[in-house]
Amino acid sequence: MGYGLLAGAIAAEILATTSMKYSEGFTKLWPSLVTGVGYLVAFVLLAQALKTLQVGTAYAIWSGAGTAAVAVLGFLFLGESLNAAKIAGILLIIAGVAVLNLGGAH
């Protein structure tokens, strides 16, 4: 159950961060509202997930997965550049999260 809540928190954080880009500095109403609600949902779900998951592991997964996903979405949909260094960084984030998830955080 904890990992399901964590997945929801990650999805909400990705939605909120992407919406923030479209809010144009919080000058557009709907993207700004989606940003605020998305982060609220993300933190509520993360807090619930922390009832059963270790904070270090959960936070690493939440922030790492969100960071990697937003970087990929930026490339795919927002016209952001992707080069070898960015790809390496994303792969290192994924590797770090995998190591923590396999027991490195205990």
The pLDDT score that the predictor gives to residue 41 is: 98
The pTM for the full model equals 0.90
The pLDDT score that the predictor gives to residue 104 is: 57
Computed on alpha carbons and rounded to an integer, the radius of gyration of the chain in Å comes to: 15
For the cut 70, the answer to whether the pLDDT of residue 40 exceeds it is yes
User: Could you tell me the two tokens for 84?
Assistant: 């070898």
| Residue 95 burial (CB count, 10 A) | 11
The pLDDT score that the predictor gives to residue 105 is: 53
* 24 pLDDT tier (thresholds 50, 70, 90): very high
